[in-house]
Amino acid sequence: MIYEDIICPVCGMACDDIRVELKEGKVITHNACLMGDAKFQELTSDHRIIAPTIDGDVVDWKDAIKRSADILKDARRPLIYMGSETSIEAMKVGIDIADYLGGIVDNNASMCHGPTVLGIQQRGVPSCTIGQMKNRADTVVFWGTNPLESHPCHESKRSIFPMGFFRKRGRNDRKIIVADPRFTNTAKQADLYVKIKPGYDIPLFSAMRAMLRGHELNEFTEEVTGVDVETIKKLMDMLLDSEFIGAFIGLGLASSRGKDKNVYILLELIAELNAYTKCAVIANRGHCNVAGFNQVCTWRTGFPYAVDFSRGYGRYNPGEFSTTDVLARKDVDAMLLCCADLGAHLPRKSVEHMVDMPLTTIDVAPCPSTMLSDVVLPGVIDSMENEGTFYRLDNIPLRARKFVDPPFDFTTSNEDTLKQIFEEIKK
């Protein structure tokens, strides 16, 4: 059986052109990169979690739901962590549970592009769809991001190589600028590579703004920015010669010294550039639906991530209510973890608290987090085993179609599982 135009739920590209062939128990994908293909192979993998467990023993589904609900309702301040490889419909139920119980709700955004979101909140962002980037951009900038490895189909389907409506010759109609401390595989394709001194993005943006306003850069510029004046001049010439600049920014900005201020100052520069040409910016969000969580959480609570309901209303303070911090400070006493492997990624101090407190995990495959969990509930692969909405990295919602059934019948989706837990809590 062949299924067309399936959405890949792995990285922020949310490729919607995947062709999946199910043949003699095997899954064959077309148009998917290795990362995406690995996710589709989960459909038939022999390590798939297909039965609920409590303390490692297989139990009845209803018992596992009840125990999960008991863990959350007995807690004084539970943490609901909604990972990004699930639909926004499931995320909304997770947010509702945190609100009902006076807990905290958070998502991968707090440890990746959260500072980008903060910078955008402070300055506002001129943005567009990734399709417009493909059709219009004659200069593509990658700043602190290496999409060839983080979003393998980015360049081939959207940013560098494809034909666009106004860029009929694909790569030949585009100039590529890469700014990164490392000479990455993306940088190897650049017309101009700018080697940034780590943590010195703000001085460099400031030098670019000074040049834009007609100031001469002096002999101290290289010492302060880490980039020589000739390269900055060349960079500005390329930008100002463009009809449309498509800028993609990555964790090199959000996770280095300066964090949200890096993004804020970049957006100031882009606002000034827009007096001379057109420039739009998109964050290269890493996870498939991490942008979706920011959307649904903002719609539901007024804030994009790291929201605390312990006073009966939503409060937002990244650094205080974000997952890494509340775990490290032992500010929460139970946790529901959905579709993310925090056990493999958080700092040791935070993971130690996950070991100490009751933990329910919803996931499709065994991982460090499931090993730490009191209750493990089998996850449904959203976008393959049930329909749902996913936001691409440019904040465009895509509706995913189901094409196979989950390998069990006690739940139809992660949203359904969370609703069952919520009903049990309310009882």
Task: Using CB under 6 A, pick the residue from 10, 27, 75, 372 that binds ligand SF4.
Answer: 10
Contact between 382 and 413 under an 8 Å Cβ cutoff? The reply is yes
Rg (CA), the chain: 23
Torsion angle defined by CA atoms of residues 228, 230, 233 and 234, in that order, rounded to the nearest 10 degrees: -110
Residues contacting 329, CB < 8 A, separation 6+? none
- Residue 67 or 392: the one with the smaller Cβ distance to ligand SF4 is 392
Residues 6+ apart with CB under 8 A from 109: 117, 290, 293, 294, 304, 305
Residue 181: Cβ-neighbour burial (10 angstroms; 0-12, 13-18, 19+)? middle
Q: Decide: 283 and 128 in contact? Cβ < 8 Å.
A: no
* Helix %, strand %, coil % of the chain (to 5): 40, 20, 40
Minimal distance, residue 85 CB to ligand SF4, in Å: 11
- 190 belongs to the binding site for ligand SF4 (CB under 6 A): no
Name the minimum Å distance from CB 45 to ligand SF4.
17
32, 69, 177, 425: residue in contact with ligand SF4 (rule CB under 6 A): 32
Are the beta carbons of 418 and 93 closer than 8 angstroms? yes
Query: Least CB distance from residue 33 to ligand SF4, whole Å?
Result: 3
Among 52, 114, 119, 152, binds ligand SF4 (CB under 6 A): 152
Q: Is 367 in the site for ligand SF4 (CB under 6 A)?
A: no
Least distance from C-beta 305 to ligand SF4, angstroms?
A: 21
The only residue of 33, 43, 64, 266 in contact with ligand SF4, by rule CB under 6 A: 33
Single out the segment in contact with ligand SF4 by CB under 6 A; choices: 28-36, 79-87, 296-304, 398-406: 28-36
CB of 409 to ligand SF4, least distance (A): 28
List strand residue ranges (DSSP E) for 34-110, in order: 53-54, 57-58, 78-82, 104-106
**3-class DSSP state for residue 319?**
coil
| Closest approach of ligand SF4 to the CB of residue 38, in Å | 9
DSSP string, 242-288: -SEEEEEE-HHHHTSTTTHHHHHHHHHHHHHHTTTSEEEEEE--SBT
Taking the complex as a whole, how short is the minimal distance between the CB of residue 150 and ligand SF4, in angstroms? 9
The residue nearest ligand SF4 at its CB is 36
Stretch of 3-11, 64-72, 251-259, 415-423 contacting ligand SF4, by CB under 6 A: 3-11
Instruction: Show the tokens assigned to 286.
Output: 């890493």
Site string for ligand SF4, 34-73 (x = CB under 6 A): -xx-------------------------------------
Summarize as ranges the residues that interact with ligand SF4 (CB under 6 A).
8, 10-11, 13-15, 32-33, 35-36, 151-153
